[in-house]
Structure 1
Amino acid sequence: MENRKETNSAVDIPTTHCTDVESSSISDGTVVASSSWEKSRQWIRSIGAEEYGIERVPESRRINQSPWSLYIAFFSFNCCTTALALGYLGPTLFGLGWWDSFLCVLFFNLIGAVFPAIVTAFGHRTGLRTLIMPRFSFGWWPAKVVVLLNIFTQMGWAIVNALAGGDILFVVGGGKLPKAVCVILIGAVSIIIALFGYEYIHAYQRYAWLIMLSCFVILAGFGGSHFENIPMGSGPQETASVLAFGTAIIGCEVAWVPCAADYSVYMDQETNDWVVIACSYGGLFLSQFLLEALGAALGTLISSPDERFMRAYDSYGLGGLIEETFADRGSGVRGLGIFVQIVLSFSTAAVGVVSMYSIGLSFQMMTGKAVRVPRFIFTVVGGIVFLVCAVAGRDHLESVMTNFANICAYYLVPMTTVLLAEHYLWRKGFTYNLTDWNDKEKLPVGIAAAVSFTLGTLVAFLCMSQAWWVGPIAAAIGGSPTGTDISWMLAPAVTLAVYLPGRYWELRKWKR
């Protein structure tokens, strides 16, 4: 089979990337060659979709994918209404002013983008998907728990993305197009693109951001004269609100950790790690910072002396605020506004694609038998479940979004702490025996990782402050009636304190 290499930044995936024989490796290391399996793979190849799933991509099958493509991909993933919706929660849900919302968006994104950016380098250096890497610290069985949590997380983010886009599309239709139909339309686009895999996702993201960013600039231009400079608060209540909003922002950035390396696995192994990390960091930070800042500015409209903005917010939420920014400018501008709203509604497909793609890969990591099933089958099944859930929750964007953004921080921060501690302290960089990735007898036992991850997550929940649960530590700190959320600060400290001695003991006892 031909091993193709490209000389530009376009992502063009080789016909096959794991083996030069017509067979398929499954999770237990055996090789299966069935006629039905091969026919399905041939059909996948014939439509230009990505053929394989979680199998390691060897060096012989890499391409000259430019690190710049990661900047474009991550910028495009986040150049969507979902980031806008997160930013507008600062004034609307957490009661912050303009400048404190802006500073939260700036500093918490600066911190949060570090973790997924570092993890991106695992892809090109190992050729392994992101959630295969926890096997080298968590071991075979505990790593499956992490994968299962990721399936629920990606399902949640897919719902958030569909709801954010559906809200705007519903407003464009004047309420005549049922919101359930709006959500299904947005979700269907994400599922279709995700079905085709790596090459098509990169191709879509390479151009989509240009259109999306142009529409956001238009929105900012017409909305600028309406935005309000809400004064910054002070005191314990302000501190609690800043930390709660910050937790949501950190959670949104850290949510990229379970899939960050998936988009660099075909990149040449010799590509400079720091260039990969820098490009990924730039795309992750800049996109979320710009869009969340614009969202915070939109959120200030609820304090506008013009009461039509509050009425629009009460009736249609974010979609109503966006519509009203174009409402008093004449028919020509109103027509432009409708076009912008339609584009922004479908912009959430850019990040919804990521969730659908990750779900397909995650199912294959759960059991060896699942690898025999083509990835796109799991994407279809996951897509159907997500659409049903999204339709059921179509009227609750704010609560769904804040819950999932925070839940990501509560368990992903401890998981990322274990992953990076193993990498930098025990493996001393990329010194993994990559042939062990599928051999549970050679992987770590995982006791240290499992215990530290569990305790770190437990501490995070004790420190959390949400509408549905206020942990005793958060409540004891005070600052507001619902306490102060310090989960993302305390959880990694506890995780690291338990993991380091536990891993030392584990290595002495089992030598792996």
Structure 2
Amino acid sequence: MESNKKAHSAVNIPRTQRSDVESSSIAESTVVESSSWEKSRQWIRTIGAEEYGIERVPESQRVKQSPWSLFIAFFSFNCCTTALALGYLGPALFGLGWWDSFLCLLFFNLIGAVFPAIVSAFGHRTGLRTLILPRFSFGWWPTKVVILLNIFTQMGWAIVNALSGGDILFVVGGGKLPKAVCVVLIGAVSIIIALFGYDYIHAYQRYAWVVMLSCFAILAGFGGSHFENIPMGSGSQETASVLAFGTAIIGCEVAWVPCVADYSVYMDEQTNNWAVVACSYGGLFLSQFLLEALGAALGTLISSPDERFRRAYDSFGMGGLIEETFAERGAGVRGLGTFVQIVLSFSTAAVGVVSMYSIGLSFQMMTEKAVRVPRFVFTLVGGVVFLVCAVAGRDHLESVMTNFANVCAYYIVPLTTVLLAEHYLWRKKFTYNVADWNDKERLPVGISAAVSFTLGTLVGFLCMSQVWWVGPIAAAVGGSPTGMDISWMLAPVVTLAVYLPGRYWELRKWKR
């Protein structure tokens, strides 16, 4: 990465509050204790991988990264069969028609993409990784709970990504290539790219989306004549299905909140905030909406009068439906279809990289000693664990997909509520004393954040209405036998109502 040698500039923080740490490498100021650490850093530089972990990226290390790169990165991250798989759950799992699935995807993605887009601006303005930021509201110890939840969540999404790609690769191999091998192949690509870090991830995403989007366009072209216009439902059951599907969509968007700022920490801090937010929003919304809409159209094939689609779905799931769209069109088309399927199967590596990268950073945040271990070591260890879990769950894509998309909404929405309330009410214009990021004595105590987050998450679970559990509040609303999922609407209200008075009290008592 080309180094930007500009003068040390401000991050809207009083100069008197800054530490000399910011003028040198944070790693050197906190963990230079052994020759083995220095040797590992030298080796990382030699292979061209990212040297920094969770240390704050000082202004002297920033580059002229364009906000447009965030649009490309987030569009490319989501340009994969994982988004396709979420969209097809509308008709396949929630029993929705084409137009109600389409409107759900449009409406809930428009809302859900707002929150990670706003958080994306925190990276270049502070130079801090996303999950370091909760320390300025949750404090030192409660933040560790958030980090632990993120490790499990990212592990779950990594599994979802590997399974959605593995399902397609399994079909391409005619069932002869074991599904476990398919999952391992998909997962290994994600791990390798994530090991090298920031530069390599941006470089990969810069070009990958072109190939992926072309293949999705081919799939849409050949599948268009087969897609069914399933009529829209009505009544309380339709409302319940819309809200349940909407929660999954919201969950998929807000799942980006714990890691979205990681991809702008090397960006010049003077970059326009609105440009960063707008580009991030565009990339997140367009990619998920377009691909999920195609997935919903693909899901309508389950109701096709042509029985071969039902047989393909029963035998191979979503991968079977994709293959059948190219069937009965001649050898040339089937050959093209095979190529498209192979490319699409590996498309999930683009977003799998995000999970592996985030896991490596999250492990470093758990203890002070963990910072001494290079990030890529944790990425590698997390990758091995993820592959083992993915192989074990290789036959349960729909179940794993919905569970993790929903869990994200139930705890990340309260988390985001706390982060944004803290920012807009007490740290306007990014008045964070970033030098305190690793000083537990100068960070907030975190009582108000911990209590409001816990209550908000609890309310979210009580308001959930999903296949695996219906909360008592959801069951009491709307008169539907499956209840009404209002978790993402009520949870932030409860979180905010508890956090605001609690934070005022905390500031008066501890002044931090």
User: Shorter chain as normaliser: what TM range?
Assistant: over 0.9
Matches within 5 A, 1:113-124: 113-124=113-124
CA contact (8 A) 2:25 2:58 kept: no
Task: Tell me how far apart the structure 2 counterparts of residues 411 and 358 of structure 1 sit (CA, whole Å).
Answer: 17
- Structure-1 residue corresponding to 2:335: 335
Q: Which residue identity lines up with residue 143 of structure 2 in the other structure?
A: A
- Structure-2 residue corresponding to 1:445: 445
- Structure-2 residue corresponding to 1:359: 359
Mark the runs of 5 or more structure 1 residues left unpaired by the alignment: 7-17
Deviation at 1:71, TM superposition (A): 0.1
CA contact (8 A) 2:32 2:38 kept: no
Coordinate RMSD, CA, aligned: 1.5
- Structure-1 residue corresponding to 2:202: 202
CA contact (8 A) 1:23 1:38 kept: no
- Structure-2 residue corresponding to 1:130: 130
Task: Tell me how far apart the structure 2 counterparts of residues 231 and 375 of structure 1 sit (CA, whole Å).
Answer: 50
CA distance 1:330–1:2, change in 2 (3 Å): closer
Task: Tell me how far apart the structure 2 counterparts of residues 30 and 330 of structure 1 sit (CA, whole Å).
Answer: 64
Matches within 5 A, 1:161-180: 161-180=161-180
CA distance 1:21–1:459, change in 2 (3 Å): closer
TM-score normalized with structure 2 length:
0.95
Q: Which residue identity lines up with residue 424 of structure 1 in the other structure?
A: Y
Summarize deviations over 1:139-191 as a string: whole Å, max 9, x none.
Answer: 00001110010000000000000000000000000000000000000000000
Q: Which residue identity lines up with residue 369 of structure 2 in the other structure?
A: K
Deviation at 1:30, TM superposition (A): 3.9
Deviation at 1:428, TM superposition (A): 1.8
CA contact (8 A) 1:23 1:32 kept: no
Deviation at 1:477, TM superposition (A): 1.2
Task: Tell me how far apart the structure 1 counterparts of residues 215 and 27 of structure 2 sit (CA, whole Å).
Answer: 44
Deviation at 1:427, TM superposition (A): 1.2
- Structure-2 residue corresponding to 1:68: 68
Q: Percent identity, aligned pairs only?
A: 88
Deviation at 1:478, TM superposition (A): 4.4
Task: Tell me how far apart the structure 2 counterparts of residues 2 and 328 of structure 1 sit (CA, whole Å).
Answer: 52
Matches within 5 A, 1:465-504: 465-504=465-504
Task: Tell me how far apart the structure 1 counterparts of residues 445 and 322 of structure 2 sit (CA, whole Å).
Answer: 52
CA contact (8 A) 2:162 2:187 kept: yes
Task: Tell me how far apart the structure 1 counterparts of residues 210 and 409 of structure 2 sit (CA, whole Å).
Answer: 30
CA distance 1:272–1:310, change in 2 (3 Å): same
Deviation at 1:21, TM superposition (A): 6.8
Deviation at 1:278, TM superposition (A): 0.1
Task: Tell me how far apart the structure 1 counterparts of residues 366 and 461 of structure 2 sit (CA, whole Å).
Answer: 26
Summarize deviations over 1:445-503 as a string: whole Å, max 9, x none.
Answer: 00000000000000000001122221100111144322111100000000000000000
Structure 1 residue 84 corresponds to structure 2 residue 76: no
Structure 1 residue 407 corresponds to structure 2 residue 407: yes
Q: Which residue identity lines up with residue 225 of structure 1 in the other structure?
A: S
Mark the runs of 5 or more structure 2 residues left unpaired by the alignment: 7-20
- Structure-1 residue corresponding to 2:53: 53
CA contact (8 A) 1:55 1:128 kept: yes
Per the alignment, in what secondary structure is the counterpart of residue 313 of structure 1? helix
Task: Tell me how far apart the structure 1 counterparts of residues 113 and 194 of structure 2 sit (CA, whole Å).
Answer: 24
- Structure-1 residue corresponding to 2:378: 378
Structure 1 residue 187 corresponds to structure 2 residue 187: yes
Q: Which residue identity lines up with residue 336 of structure 1 in the other structure?
A: L
Matches within 5 A, 1:88-107: 88-107=88-107
Deviation at 1:24, TM superposition (A): 2.9
Deviation at 1:5, TM superposition (A): 6.5
Further displaced range: 473-482 or 137-146: 473-482
Deviation at 1:33, TM superposition (A): 2.9
Task: Tell me how far apart the structure 2 counterparts of residues 406 and 251 of structure 1 sit (CA, whole Å).
Answer: 5
TM-score normalized with structure 1 length:
0.95
- Structure-2 residue corresponding to 1:277: 277
CA distance 1:193–1:50, change in 2 (3 Å): same
CA contact (8 A) 1:313 1:320 kept: yes
- Structure-2 residue corresponding to 1:111: 111
Deviation at 1:32, TM superposition (A): 2.4
Count of residues in Structure 1 that have an aligned counterpart in Structure 2: 498
Task: Tell me how far apart the structure 2 counterparts of residues 136 and 195 of structure 1 sit (CA, whole Å).
Answer: 28
Q: Which residue identity lines up with residue 96 of structure 1 in the other structure?
A: L
CA contact (8 A) 2:24 2:58 kept: no
Structure 1 residue 24 corresponds to structure 2 residue 27: yes
Q: Which residue identity lines up with residue 214 of structure 2 in the other structure?
A: S
Per the alignment, in what secondary structure is the counterpart of residue 174 of structure 2? coil
Summarize deviations over 1:76-114 as a string: whole Å, max 9, x none.
Answer: 000000000000000000000000000000000000000
Deviation at 1:326, TM superposition (A): 0.1
CA contact (8 A) 1:240 1:479 kept: no
- Structure-2 residue corresponding to 1:33: 33
Deviation at 1:391, TM superposition (A): 0.3
Further displaced range: 463-472 or 249-258: 463-472
Task: Tell me how far apart the structure 2 counterparts of residues 5 and 321 of structure 1 sit (CA, whole Å).
Answer: 53
Per the alignment, in what secondary structure is the counterpart of residue 442 of structure 1? coil
